[in-house]
Structures are given as C-alpha cells and as structure tokens.
A = this chain, B = another copy of it.
Amino acid sequence: MTLFARLKDAAGSDWTDYAEHEFVRRLGAGTLPEAAFRRYLVQDYLFLIQFARANALGVYKSRTLPDMRAAQASLSAILDTELRLHERICARWGLDPQALDREPEARETIAYTRFVLDCGAAGDLLALQVALSPCVVGYAEIGRALAPRGIDAIAPDHPYREWIADYAGAEYGAVAEAARGRLDALALRFMPEARFDELAASFAAACRMERDFWQMGLDAAGD
C-alpha cells in the first residue's frame, strides 16, 4: 500500500468531501455554472504561483542532485508549462491574462498555499510533499474519476472537456504516479511509523483546504 493510499484512508471524509465535492460532480456533469469555473480558474492561476514557490523550496531543501533535479522538474513544469497553459485557457474563458496578476488572492487560496509553504519551510522534504499531494496526486484521481471510460467517451461539446482531458490524461497521470513514488521513497528515509499520524493530520488539513477551494468557486456562482 502506498503512503498516498494510507493518507487517503486516514483522511476518511476529509478526502471524499474534497475529491467528490459538488463542484467536481457538476464539473463532470457539465452543469457547473460558468461563473464558478471562471472564479476557480483565476484563483488556480494565483495558486500555481505559490505552488511554484513551494517547489523551489523543495530544490533548496534537497541535499542530493537527484532530489534537486526532481524538485526542479516540478518547478519548471509550473513556470514553463502550466502557467502558460493557464493563461491560454483563461484567455479562452474571456479572462485577460494581464488582469490575472492584479486579482487579489482569495482567503481560500491563501489558506492552502501558505499552509503548504509553512509545512515546507518548517519541516522537511517529506512534510512538504505530503502537504502538496492532495493537489498534485488528487487532481489525477479526480480527473480519472470524471472520465471512467476515457476522454473519448465525453461529448465534444462538454463545456469542461478540456479540463477533464488534462487531468485524466496519460501525461498528468505520469506526473501523479511519479509523485506517489517520491512520497514512498521519502518515507523510507524520513518516516518511522511513529511519524505517520502527524503526516496524516497535515494531509487531512490540506484536503479540507482543497474542499474550501472548490466551495469558493461554487460560491461565486451565487446559487
């Protein structure tokens, strides 16, 4: 059993409240109000900037070149790929890329990102990766759950088809798989069994903040 699977089990309803949130269900069903998705997109852009900082912290905290290169790959993936992808998607949703940087961070964005950054700054690489994992690995699991028969089974005019395709796809799946493996490798070096409960508490708290993040999107639709 992977560490990620153990953390999910221990989180119980904190995990399912996040992974099966109404925002997710309606996104999958194509009934999510556009205003909710738009709010989510803008905040997710600001979120990614902080996540890039968290991955830079991972490079700094590393002691070996392989650890450094693994964290740097995540950092580059965000700064060079994901943020530009986001700017493109945002543009298609009528969100001026220029305007994104001026948007204030929502409290839900601040709460989760600063929580992760503090886990990383005060703790070790494992504490950092555990706090990141509901997002990094969770999105792949959520994406796959929304496309159980593959992305081709989703109607071409589904309004959120592109988002689902990204996170259900093989490329992101490989990112998540690497993150699962990294958690297990770090646990061998830094987690005696006595430490599990502390990490599980941090994981559950991160799941609750991810749930709040979806809710922030829904709240913007005012229904």
Contact = CB atoms under 8 A, between A and B. Distances in A.
Interface in A151-188: 188
A76 interface: yes
Nearest to A71: B56
B49 A53 contact: no
A1 interface: no
Interface string A55-87: 011111111010011011001100100010000
A149 interface: no
A113 B123 CA distance: 16
Nearest to A72: B79
A124 B124 contact: yes
A62 B212 CA distance: 26
Given A122-B61, A124-B124, A208-B107, A56 B53 contact: no
Contacts of A57: 56, 60
A104 interface: yes
A192 B104 CA distance: 24
Contact of A194 (B62, B101, B189): B189
A190 interface: yes
Interface in A197-223: 198, 205, 208-209, 212
Interface of A: 49, 52-54, 56-63, 65, 68-69, 71-72, 75-76, 79, 83, 101, 104-105, 107-108, 110-111, 114-115, 117-118, 121-124, 127, 188-192, 194-195, 198, 205, 208-209, 212
29 contacts: A49-B65, A49-B68, A52-B68, A53-B62, A56-B56, A56-B57, A56-B58, A56-B68, A56-B71, A57-B60, A59-B75, A60-B60, A63-B123, A65-B79, A69-B79, A72-B76, A104-B205, A105-B205, A110-B111, A110-B205, A110-B209, A114-B114, A117-B121, A117-B122, A188-B192, A189-B194, A189-B195, A189-B198, A190-B190
Given A56-B68, A190-B195, 14 more contacts: A53-B62, A53-B68, A56-B58, A59-B75, A60-B122, A63-B123, A72-B79, A107-B208, A107-B212, A110-B111, A117-B121, A117-B122, A118-B121, A124-B124
